[in-house]
Amino acid sequence: QAVVTQEPSLTVSPGGTVTLTCGSSTGVVTSGHYPYWFQQKPGQAPTTLIYDTSSKHSWTPARFSGSLLGGKAALTLSGAQPEDEAEYYCLLSYSDARVFGGGTKLTVL
């Protein structure tokens, strides 16, 4: 089974920009992995922010964007807010299998 890797932790200043990445042990992440990004705050269920690399839900704040960057999937937060402090998970699709990354704990400080 593939392993999906994320930065364990990142810190961003309020109003700042940060990029979280999602890599695959099998090689380059492409749009064919249909990258998803989820936000989870303590004690809450995850919410889906980004699907199919860069598509947003109606509830996704405009400051979040998804892309492919340097062979990985990326989630960029531009203009970080205190409420963006959370755990972020990516999900990649491998044929019929789905694999979550280990998560990135984002601190806004």
Per CB under 8 A, residues contacting another protein are: 1, 34, 36, 38, 40, 45-48, 51, 57, 89, 91, 93, 96-103
Q: Which is nearer to another protein, 39 or 65 (CB)?
A: 39
**How many whole angstroms separate alpha carbon 109 and alpha carbon 92?**
29
Question: From the CB of 74, what's the least distance to another protein, in Å?
Answer: 17
- Cβ neighbors of 68 (< 8 A, separation 6 or more) are 29, 30, 31, 35, 53, 74
Question: From the CB of 102, what's the least distance to another protein, in Å?
Answer: 5
Q: Which is nearer to another protein, 4 or 74 (CB)?
A: 4
Q: Which two tokens stand for residue 5?
A: 């890797």
